[in-house]
Amino acid sequence: MDDLESALVAASGLEYVGPFEHHDVVLNGRQVPYLAATPLPAGRVYLSLDRRFAIELTLQDAEYIVPFIAHCIAVGMGYTGFPDTAEEAPRPVQHMPRMRSLD
């Protein structure tokens, strides 16, 4: 990159960063939203949630943690939980009406 190109990039603030390698996480045949994985050597995996929070786990630990994370994401999105293989689609939470006193 010559001086003119460097000056143009610095002036605009635009950068092209990458490439990044990651894998979508699929549980029960469905992609877990906001969750990405990067395989690591020695039987480990790097999980990234929304590209902001991350944890490095063994593959064995990931078998237990990923379903929990999937359910947490689904509940946060307003569903009863992450769908099992038998379910056709996620079920929205049925909000109960607020109870009021009769006094």
pTM, entire model: 0.70
**What does DSSP say about strands 53-58 and 44-49: parallel, antiparallel, or unpaired?**
antiparallel
State pLDDT tens for residues 1-49: 566 666 655 666 777 777 778 899 999 889 999 999 999 999 999 999 9
Neighbours of 54 (CB within 10 A): 12
Burial of 22 (0-12, 13-18, 19+ CB in 10 A): middle
| Structural domain boundaries in the chain | 20-76
